[in-house]
Chain A
Amino acid sequence: MASRRYVIIGGSAAGLAAAQAVRELDRDGSILVLSAEPDPPYYRPMIPFIVTGQKTAEGIGMMGQGPYTARGIEVRQNARVTAVDPRARAVTVNDQESVPYDRLLIATGSRPYIPPTIQGVDTPGVYAPRTLADARSMAQRVSNARRAVLAGGGMVNLKFAFALLERGVSVTMVVTSPEILSQVMEMDAAALIREALERAGLEILTGRNIVQILSGPGGVEGVLLDTGEEIPCQIVCIGKGVRPNVEFLSTSGILVDGGVMADGDTACFFGQEKERLPEVFTAGDVAVTFDPITGQRMMTALWTNAVEMGRCAGRNMAGWPTIYTGTFGILNATQVAGVPFVSMGIVHTAGTPYETHVVRTANTYRKLVFSEDGKRLIGAVFVGDIHHAGLYRYLIRERVPLDGLKAAAIRHQLHYGHLLRIK
């Protein structure tokens, strides 16, 4: 058999994880990663450290770092795929060049969502930071900035808030919801984090929206809120979630419904009749997959999920049939203002019949969410103490019947030894 030509559209988490997985199983095939970005692949979640200056572009590069050690992976930068023809098995790069494939991965990721309700987003100094280029530009602008206003209180904006604080910029966070981090936890859980953020010097305004960017000759000069308040600032950072990059597929016939629809093994479909395309796969932010807890369709924008799905796709591309086990909608860990937290699975329980157990101390918050019948764990939030979080993820994901383990889980005494006994 002639060696296979693997083509991967997208040079970030899902794409590189797939490339690595392919190479681990197929020594001979050619692997071509087409990336629209001008920079070689990098750890995207690290770009706030470019703003602080704590890391360099080289320092956050993916190639050769962590698990990305495979050889013989060609990455082409500035190579935007503009069309895909699954019948001819070829993709078009930059509207001109046709590149044939035997196996294709669609891993084009997502881009920031800019709410149309904000006027003046084209003003210099307004960022929706996503790329290394964005971070470099922000790093430069920070030198002349006294205050930044951040629209949105999610994970990305929190990280940039701290990057900006680190650079000596005052930061005001304007949040639509009544509390920060509303996408990944409920209000009572976020309270501890919010207190720590405010102690660290972050100003948080909830229940408000930016309606207009105020500009002057040098770019951003302030923002106008829907309450009529004006806040002078030199930087605006929009963190309002992402949308998948699917537009280039409009003429391909590949089934897109919000994102690229994925079969159980991450393979794509052709047309509304859902004809399987056994040589085309998808992974990462652009893919529509399912939540293993609820079975509902799911799209996420999480590095960890993108890597897992990318590796699964890579195995299938290399001819090792592998089923994808799905994606929690929430699978977040980080630390801000000295407070670590982990949130995973189903954690928004207000108005649901799920059994919940919350334990609070002065510095910690723990919430476990069990299925309605109380037999399985389906979600967990740990703030302040994240000890053994991975065990709980395992219980959720593998739908482990808890039987005698529930009391230990609730008391946070669970350890791996307990799991050995019930296998």
Chain B
Amino acid sequence: MKEIFVRLDRCVGCHTCEIACAVEHSQSKDLFRAISEHPVPRRRLFVEWVAPGQKIPVLCRHCTDAPCMHACISGAIRRTPEGVVLTDTDKCIGCWTCVMVCPYGVIGRHPEMQRAYRCDRCPDREVPACVASCPTRALVYRTVEEFSAGVRQTAAAEMLAGERG
């Protein structure tokens, strides 16, 4: 099961992922047409900034024990067999209980639709749009095993380099 990992040291805060996300969730899936669409396509991840210079992409973690899914009063939030926590817009009644319980602040209130929206991990794509668009590969789409193996390899290489002085 793949997940979107964030490598904070690589993010330069260019917001390309946000644009790619909004375009992917537009009707046309084309930037220039998406701009004039109604409802306005929305990004579902957010590149935040902490002084003095840290950029932090924040996106739905599709939590193991997802508070939004358990709190939902209409049964609109479920987990797919792929592990993605999905909001069914047709079942959502716009009560914002999910917004109230998400500790990441990544569930939005769509101003035109009056429904909750959030990362759906791009069901129509092999690789989520944010990941595919990231020019510094700060966002990667891997299994936990692949990602942690990469972390171990990097750490091992650094330790070796350190020992050699």
Contact = CB atoms under 8 A, between A and B. Distances in A.
Interface of A: 17, 43, 45-46, 49, 60-62, 65-69, 303-304, 307-308, 311, 331, 333-335, 338, 340, 342, 344, 386-391, 393-394, 415-421
Contacts of B93: 46, 49
B101 A46 contact: no
A416 B71 contact: no
Contacts of A340: 94, 96, 109
Contacts of A307: 70-71
Interface stretch (B75-83, B130-138, B155-163): B75-83
A338 B114 CA distance: 9
Contacts of B105: 387-391, 415-416
A61 B56 CA distance: 40
Contacts of A61: 75
| Nearest 8 Cβ contacts at the A-B interface | A65-B75, A417-B56, A66-B75, A390-B102, A388-B105, A394-B103, A417-B48, A45-B73
A391 B106 CA distance: 10
A308 B105 CA distance: 19
A342 B104 contact: no
A26 to B, nearest CB: 17
Interface of B: 46, 48-50, 54, 56, 58, 66-67, 69-79, 91, 93-97, 99-107, 109, 114
A307 B49 CA distance: 34
B94 A335 contact: yes
A334 B72 CA distance: 11
A311 B70 contact: yes
B103 A393 contact: yes
B105 to A, nearest CB: 4
Nearest to B59: A416
Contact of A335 (B67, B69, B96, B103): B96
Interface centre among A67, A307, A391 (most CB of B within 10 A): A67
B46 to A, nearest CB: 7
Contacts of A331: 100
A43 B69 CA distance: 13
Contacts, number: 120
Contacts of B50: 417-418, 420-421
Contact of B74 (A46, A311, A417): A46
Contacts of A69: 78
Interface centre among B66, B73, B76 (most CB of A within 10 A): B73
A61 B54 CA distance: 46
Contacts of B100: 304, 331, 333, 342, 344, 386, 389-390, 393
B49 A417 contact: yes
Contacts of B71: 303-304, 307-308
Contacts of A390: 67, 99-105, 107
Contacts of B96: 333-335, 340, 342, 386, 389
Contacts of B95: 45, 333-335
Given A66-B72, A338-B114, 16 more contacts: A43-B74, A46-B74, A66-B74, A67-B70, A307-B70, A311-B70, A333-B96, A342-B100, A387-B105, A389-B105, A390-B107, A416-B103, A416-B104, A416-B105, A417-B56, A421-B50
Nearest to A304: B71
A307 B76 CA distance: 15
Contact of B109 (A45, A60, A386, A418): A386
B58 A415 contact: yes
Contact of B70 (A17, A43, A49, A334): A17
A65 B99 contact: no
Contacts of A388: 105
B73 A43 contact: yes
B157 to A, nearest CB: 25
A305 B20 CA distance: 37
